[in-house]
Amino acid sequence: KELGDALRNRWFLLYTIAFAGLALALSYMSLAGAGIAGFAGFGRTAASLINLVLLIIPLMALTVGAQSLAHEQEQGTLAYLLAQPVTRPEVFLGKYLGLALSLLASLGLGFGVAGVVLALSNGSGSPGAYASLMVQTFLLSLTMLSVGFLISALTKRAGVAVGIGLFLWLAFVFLGDLGLMGTAITMRLPVDQLLWLSLLNPLQVFKMASILDINATLDLLG
């Protein structure tokens, strides 16, 4: 049911189309800008995809998760569902898994079209690194989906839940780097403490793990 609802959700479809279209465009432009195939072209494409993932995937997962339970509470369908001979954990787990599968399908489409571009370019990039980037992106989406799901469970109105999700997205994406920089400068934190502080942000964890996987240099990351 959740998978079907997600496929009928206009916002989810918009996110999916935007992610797939931008992944395709960034892959083509990265390879064209590199002027060569091979690992250099792969590195530019992977670095572009990392930045795209950091912007779109948390927003998608947070808003989809935030809408899930709160929307059904508003409509009264959640109370009806919980009145059936099923346990509350079974209902919540089923909804979570359905949303997770819909996110996996969306990510598969985006990374699939980017992978086709890489394959047609006759590049010699690392399939293992690309697959690892996909897995890490899916784990990031599950983390953000869990946060959105928790927000939805704690609020009764979908609009409020989505608003909280958008605020957290802004905090994770835009305040994460700026907050770390400001804290490091103000408190003069050493590198090891700054590293532990950055691990509190799932987006920072994803960024660091992905960069290590593709062995990206500063010029590739911009």
Contact 1, 45 (CB under 8 A): no
What is the mean pLDDT of the segment spanning 29-53? 68
Signed CA dihedral, 184, 185, 188, 191: sign only: positive
Neighbours of 222 (CB within 10 A): 8
pLDDT band at 117 (very low <50, low <70, confident <90, very high): confident
Break the chain into its structural domains and give their ranges. Answer: 2-212
Give pTM, 2 decimals: 0.83
Residue 1: predicted pLDDT: 61
Rounded distance between C-alpha atoms, residue 56 and residue 134, angstroms:
14
pLDDT value for 42: 67
pLDDT for residue 166 is more than 90: yes
